[in-house]
Structure 1
């Protein structure tokens, strides 16, 4: 029955003195106040142009609801593997279909070490992604849908309006109309599980769970994870730890938004490091929401942005190849590349990752980038 799930117990935060990133925090309670949007845009401007990471607080989703989603994720990962595998389809993954369950160990990262990440993606409830779910998810599906919709309405929509103001668009809802929840799109809620690794295995893969990369959509919402692991590459080329801040969501901007803004808004570069010593034996549970433009949206630079036109930002990596990709085409191409099962890095003694160039090809002339 719905509701009969133990409360989520948060992991004790690290006490280690890590090299934390300095990120701004947007107070979304200002959004409806006179002059509040302008103040938020001023704060946002530098962050999205140079780092692509920031926090938001006062986002109208109670902590109890966030914790409830962590509890549901915990219960999903506690299921026997054979039960979870009922919701896994390897052929779908390789075709770029990313919803459902992805087990760990599908890929060799390098040096004969397999990945330690499990993923369960729940697509947005737009009527185009009907799927079967295990009982723990299905019995709570209305609650999950409500949370998914709140991620969109309370956070994504407000950020899209702020981006539109930053871009000087004539209508602050222009980007919102390209990201409507009930129009077909590839947004999804994710429960994610990183299993703690043996120190020797971590050493073989440069102490990384995931190497440096960018996300493919508009923005990613990462709800607070007390296990320190996320790192960002700042504008000085330094890797910094992202501190789990109480009552915040960590936001990063992504590839589709970079394409729409001709490179003005940075697609944030981040990686997942093995946790610090006092959390090294703790599994990391993630709760994320990935927002993407609706499937029909063409990812050309926005033509009616006075700011982009003034700066001459009228092309992007797609248009320079003569491509005018829709979101759906981009998602399928990028996710297919990400899920090639035989991709394996050569990991050097200094922890740098090197990939075969062909393994990184997304479309002819455009390859994925991994950052060391």
Structure 2
């Protein structure tokens, strides 16, 4: 007898996820990101003025922190809640069941020469894969989904039973992000760069049937487990080491548990990102930063211990790393922006030519390693790339004495 979705959800105890309550702790180093309201975004020639206004607002964020928020995007609170509930049940699966689907175990034919591994491959990354400092391993686990823009691959990839039953829910969310939200953000970037609207999305991120030449991304459901006082002490209260993303743009569902931090480029202070209900937190990755000649900033960010009144809660993250097509040459000459040339962000003599695939593979190879040094900044293709930072920023200190959980 074939099971029903209701029976599957009951079997795996699908239920609402309980978010941490809003923190009452006074946090001085908390910032409000620029909020881009897509309810004001109008398509077509009659909407050009609305897009230009949003682009002007977005440019401030892209050239400052490299982080911003998107509100009015059309994704319902019900959708976010459903995905959080699904995520909760996925990570409650038995460890031996998740171990059958380790990330990178089932690459498709077109990816067999790419070292996607535990970081970018389809499947689970288990807790404790990375050694951070002083013998302490990480307390996060995640599951990656790839090729959700290509049904024939997505629905034929092995997953645990519960995941298989909810592939359509997962696909619907991330597909909307790519086809609607990402497209609109890139269109605003076109306006900023003074290139024809549709250039960035159409040339580099638009999905097409040919996998190797298609825009794509990695969809990830992730959970940070509560950590002990000993863990917090040895890692300087770091849940996820400081880094920049190798992607084009990264989209994270905002949540009340305060843990995401951005490093100020000038003061080096770590600042908490405030929560906005139903918002998307978006950051520039290396690929977009390189295409803009560094005009759009790929910011160093990390996940840190939350305030004392939020400790003991799990942090669930719904995250999307959007990627340009693999053969994209990630250099400003590629997009031919007269504005970048005019303001001094055109050709960089120190940069070697590289494709997005070459950049992704070089960066992924580092993160696939089990050992993470305290600080690691590498130069790849003549370009500095932050791989790993676990150290307190000057003057940051702690926001509360760590509590054992």
Q: Tell me the distance in 2 between the aligned counterparts of 1:16 and 1:332.
A: 41
Contact 2:291 2:335 in 1 (8 A): no
**Count of matched residue pairs:** 357
Change (3 A) 1:84 1:219: same
2:31 matched to which residue of 1?
21
| Aligned counterpart for 2:236 among listed residues 206, 217, 226 | 206
Q: Tell me the distance in 2 between the aligned counterparts of 1:287 and 1:246.
A: 14
- Post-superposition offset of 1:267: 0.3
Contact 1:31 1:40 in 2 (8 A): yes
Contact 1:20 1:241 in 2 (8 A): yes
Q: Tell me the distance in 1 between the aligned counterparts of 2:255 and 2:135.
A: 28
**Are 1:191 and 2:191 matched, yes or no?**
no
| Aligned counterpart for 2:115 among listed residues 85, 89, 95 | 95
- The DSSP-based 3-state class of the residue aligned with 2:149 is coil
Change (3 A) 1:111 1:90: farther
Q: Tell me the distance in 1 between the aligned counterparts of 2:176 and 2:351.
A: 37
Contact 1:228 1:244 in 2 (8 A): yes
Change (3 A) 1:54 1:112: same
Contact 1:224 1:245 in 2 (8 A): yes
Which sits farther off after the overlay, 82-91 or 270-279? 82-91
Q: Tell me the distance in 2 between the aligned counterparts of 1:363 and 1:120.
A: 30
2:279 matched to which residue of 1?
248
1:156 matched to which residue of 2?
182
Q: What TM-score results when the alignment is normalised by the length of structure 2?
A: 0.82
Which sits farther off after the overlay, 209-218 or 249-258? 209-218
- The DSSP-based 3-state class of the residue aligned with 2:57 is helix
- The DSSP-based 3-state class of the residue aligned with 2:283 is strand
Q: Tell me the distance in 2 between the aligned counterparts of 1:278 and 1:366.
A: 38
1:133 matched to which residue of 2?
159
Superposed CA deviations along residues 345-366 of structure 1, whole A, max 9, x for unmatched, are 2xxxxxxx334x7xx5656886
**CA RMSD in angstroms, aligned pairs only:** 2.3
Where does 1:291-330 land on structure 2 (aligned, <5 Å)? 291-301=322-332, 302-316=334-348, 320-322=350-352, 324-330=353-359
Contact 1:298 1:326 in 2 (8 A): yes
**Are 1:74 and 2:77 matched, yes or no?**
no
Structure 1 residues without counterparts, runs of 5 or longer: 346-352
- Post-superposition offset of 1:367: 5.4
2:401 matched to which residue of 1?
none
1:266 matched to which residue of 2?
297
Contact 1:188 1:291 in 2 (8 A): yes
| Aligned counterpart for 2:192 among listed residues 166, 188, 194 | 166
- Post-superposition offset of 1:201: 1.5
Q: Tell me the distance in 2 between the aligned counterparts of 1:265 and 1:90.
A: 31
2:402 matched to which residue of 1?
none
Superposed CA deviations along residues 173-213 of structure 1, whole A, max 9, x for unmatched, are 00011101345344021111111110121101111112221
Change (3 A) 1:22 1:236: farther
Q: Tell me the distance in 1 between the aligned counterparts of 2:380 and 2:96.
A: 32
Q: Tell me the distance in 1 between the aligned counterparts of 2:116 and 2:283.
A: 22
Contact 2:65 2:264 in 1 (8 A): yes
- The DSSP-based 3-state class of the residue aligned with 2:206 is coil
| Aligned counterpart for 2:369 among listed residues 340, 350, 370 | 340
1:124 matched to which residue of 2?
147
Contact 1:11 1:226 in 2 (8 A): yes
Structure 2 residues without counterparts, runs of 5 or longer: 108-113, 392-405
Contact 1:228 1:275 in 2 (8 A): yes
**Are 1:354 and 2:382 matched, yes or no?**
no
Change (3 A) 1:11 1:280: closer
- The DSSP-based 3-state class of the residue aligned with 2:84 is helix
Contact 1:258 1:265 in 2 (8 A): yes
Q: Tell me the distance in 1 between the aligned counterparts of 2:312 and 2:239.
A: 14
